[in-house]
Amino acid sequence: MKKLFIILGSIIFLLAIGITGLKYWVQNNFESRLNSNPDRKYDLNYENFTISILAGNIELDNLKITPLNTDSLPSVITGTVEKAELDGISFLSFITAKAIKIQKLSFLTPDFTVIHSDFPKKSTTTTKPFQSLFKDIISRGEIKNFSLLGGKAELLYQKDTLQKIGSFEGLEIIATGLVTDSVQVGRAIPFKLENITISLKNFSYLTTDGQTLSLGAFDFDLEKGQMDLEALSMKLNSTWEEYAKTQPVQKGIMSFDIGHLALRGLSSESQFYDSLMVISQSLEIDSLDLHVSKDKNRPLPPQVAKKDFSNMLEELSFPVAIDSLLIKNSKITYSEIESGKTKAGTITLSEVNGLIQNVSSIDAVEKEKPLLIAISAIFDGSGKLNLNVTENYFERKWVADLTLEAMDMKQLNQTVNHLAGISIVTGDLQKLHMKMEATATASDNHFLMQYKDLKMELINPDDHKKGFMSSVANLAIHKQHLPGDKNYQELTYSTTRDIYKGPINLIWLSAKDGLMATIPSKVVQKLLPHSKESKAEKQEEKKDKKEIKAEKKAERKAKNN
């Protein structure tokens, strides 16, 4: 028995010596092994090293991440990690194969600083340094699972001085089933994996054109195929009128708030990091507040032909394919300052709800089904508006059905006061209905409008009433237009499209033609500016035809000679 105790004691003593020696050897060699790859982009150094051979884990305190060869990088990331935990380590592989095999690597409370030497033009550009960092760190061994908890970052731009352009906090990443020898660049952790979840809070980012992009919360789950964004906004750092004056040319100025954006049925082919591509079964936008504004006093940009609803998707900077896009509880405001004026007219759509189906800019998807748009809203705080559009992707043709009902026409004053110099005193719109069949050049329209008790005043740019001219104007309009009235009519007409403006402009021009043919009396219609313009256009067209005819005649004469 004594001999047995001696043997057991010797084994335990040798094990203790072996474990102590192994701990000492690992501790002395771990940092150099961690930084042994000559192609690495970062050095990892730590202040305190704790190891448990029996438990198979290592803890590194105050891990410092230091970039190498910073002069060649457009973005540099540095950071500290309060604690890094390495669990399930194979110390045998570490000794014999000089490889680090880990079941799980965890970063607790990391704090990153990203410095861009070139101002990033897209917010997705800010993710590239993190992709590079995670790839560099995780590829140093065979790591099955990775987690990062409580992370935060500050985004800086290096010019003459350091300028803060963004930040975020609450970063959490959990990646499972990693295959570190299989790179996939479209992911935050750029390796083949079973699942990844990502969340962060309070993201803010200053864009190159002076706007601030903010995000309250972000959650992504690859396995469930879903992404949620809370409190997403893009805001100007001044009023839109002041911002417009700083722009070299006339442009639509956009700002927005979105309460909640949810993507469901996300395809694994979607990308959100190195580049952006969204392929999803559904996108739901709840509580959108969109403002679009334009100052027409600014110079026009180079004229480019605008396309239709489906072709507008091609102007997006990233591919998209979404089966259904649902808009709920939203508001859209459009403001415009007419050339030569200083005050804006505004159109407001509140209580906007809509469904857009078969949204795609990807050829393989877009030709299968037509684009369908169905939107309802309250127009300028009163009228009930419904718009339905159908467009085939492979044709430049679309049809639209627009109705506007039960509207107090005084509510139009926010639109017409500054855009048209008109103030509506009374007016009850019972129904406006317009059907359109549109092509690349024009639309064939059917229009009817039913209203009563219309009275208006003309105003000057200072909002002062023109008494005498207002009286004349009221004599020149139909005060009501209802079935059974002598002047009542349903209109069929065509509207020529301005090729340099989009489909919404064609809807507006078509409605405007219907309004101008319904409200003014016949005598006044002939005196209206658009009638004179129409005559001038016809005369110009006749002149062009004569010139073309003369040119052809001259060509034939030259050939005969």
Q: Which residues of 312-336 are buried (b: 16+ CB within 10 A; e: fewer)?
A: ebeeeeebbbbbbbebbebbbbbbb
Q: Which residues of 129-146 are buried (b: 16+ CB within 10 A; e: fewer)?
A: bbbbbbbbbbbbbbbbbb
Q: CA angle, corner 253, sides to 251 and 258, nearest 5?
A: 150
Burial of 199 per CB tally in 10 Å (0-12, 13-18, 19+)? middle
Q: Tell me, what DSSP letter sits at residue 460?
A: -
Q: Taking the CA of residue 62 as centre, how many other CA atoms within 13 Å lie in the half-sphere pointing to its CB? A: 3
Find where tokens 């990088």 sit. Answer: 73
Q: Tell me, what DSSP letter sits at residue 245?
A: H
Give tens-digit pLDDT for 509-533. Answer: 999 899 888 888 665 555 444 443 4
* DSSP SS3 for 517: helix
Find where tokens 């010596």 sit. Answer: 17
Low-confidence residues of the chain: pLDDT under 50: 123-124, 527-549, 551
Using an 8 Å Cβ cutoff, are 112 and 173 in contact? Answer: no
**Dist. CA 375–CA 356, nearest whole Å:** 8
| pLDDT attached to residue 339 | 85
One-letter amino acid for residue 307 of the chain? K
Going by C-alpha positions, the residue among 146, 170, 167 that lies closest to residue 84 is: 146
**How many other C-beta atoms are found inside a 10 Å radius of the C-beta of residue 172?**
15
Query: What's the per-residue H, E or C state across 309-353?
Result: HHHHHHHCCCCEEEEEEEEEEEEEEEEEECCCCCCEEEEEEEEEE
**Dist. CA 294–CA 283, nearest whole Å:** 28
SS3 content of the chain, % helix, strand, coil (to 5): 25, 50, 25
One-letter amino acid for residue 263 of the chain? L
**Dist. CA 41–CA 347, nearest whole Å:** 53
DSSP 345-379: EEEEEEEEEEEEEEEE--HHHHTTS-EEEEEEEEE
Give tens-digit pLDDT for 280-300. Answer: 999 999 999 999 999 999 998
CA dihedral 68, 74, 80, 81 (to 10 degrees): -100
Which two three-digit tokens encode residue 328?
A: 């709920």
| pLDDT attached to residue 99 | 66
Q: How far is CA 148 from CA 104, 144, 413, in A?
A: 11, 14, 55
Whole-prediction pTM: 0.82
Find where tokens 């805001």 sit. Answer: 235
Going by C-alpha positions, the residue among 243, 244, 193, 246 that lies closest to residue 223 is: 193
